[in-house]
Amino acid sequence: MESAPFLLFQLLVLLFSVVIHEVSHGYAAEQLGDPTARLSGRLTLNPLKHLDFFGSFLLPLMLWYATNGAFVFGWAKPVPYNPYNLKNPRVGAAKIAAAGPASNLLVAVVFGTILRIMAGAGYQPQFLGELFALIIYTNVLLAIFNLVPIPPLDGSKVLFALLPKSESGLRAALFLERYGTLILLFFIFFGFSLILPIVNALFGLIAGSQFAF
């Protein structure tokens, strides 16, 4: 693809992938008894309800130009939920958090299955293959990145549910909550490459090596 159209596709794929991610949080909360997302109008795939100027536009464009088109990433506005509406706030928060990455993995598997069916039938149009591969990679990347156990990422909520209800577990949770943003920034700039082998391996498993970037 030419660079400008490919950038547009990357931004559109990223936008709808993060929207699906956030809406999944809201639906999970709804199923667990919290209507906050629905009442705030966030249980919709309308991207206008979820856009974040920095995370949905500015950051992806900055990363695109900084990496010469090799990497685009971003996020949408978090869908709100009220833990006091959950029967078990600790476990409920983990389930709500896990719903986001799970939805991205489901999207990746669906498009990966379509790609494999197309390949098995001998039908491999270049443009559609690249587009589907981009959708798969973006969603796998979102899922794995959000599972990193650093606040405010989804993985931290899962980690907190697994930590022992002891003084040491509480101290660990409080430390991560207090310094999570700084730790996350450090991870993005210096540790992001640690998850890329996992992302690439999972992408290859889902899409097949013939569609690897």
- The residue written with tokens 């489901």 in the block is 106
- Compute φ and ψ for 21, nearest 5 degrees: -60, -50
What would the mean pLDDT of 54-83 be, rounded to a whole number? 80
- The residue written with tokens 């931290």 in the block is 156
Question: What percentage of the chain exceeds 70 in pLDDT?
Answer: 92
Alpha carbon 92 to chain centroid distance? Answer: 19
Query: Would you list the domain boundaries of the chain?
Result: 3-211
Contacts of 69 (CB under 8 A, 6+ apart): 3, 6, 7
C-alpha neighbours within 13 Å on the C-beta side of residue 70: 3
pLDDT beyond 80 at 96: yes
Contacts of 2 (CB under 8 A, 6+ apart): none
- pTM of this prediction? 0.89
Tokens for 202, please give them: 């999972």
Clarify whether 22 is annotated catalytic. Answer: yes
Buried b (16+ CB within 10 A) or exposed e, 71-108: ebbbbbbbbebeeeebeebeebbbbbbbbbbbbbbebb
Active-site residue, selected from the candidate residues 2, 22, 167, 177: 22
Using CA atoms, how far apart are residues 202 and 177, in angstroms rounded to an integer? 29
Report residue 70's pLDDT band, with 50, 70 and 90 as the boundaries: low
- CA angle 161/205/147 to nearest 5° reads 20
State whether the Cα torsion 202-203-208-209 is positive or negative.
negative
pLDDT beyond 60 at 212: no
Per the model's pLDDT, the better-predicted residue between 4 and 166 turns out to be 166
Using CA atoms, how far apart are residues 153 and 184, in angstroms rounded to an integer? 9
Q: Do residues 72 and 60 touch, judged by C-beta distance below 8 A?
A: yes
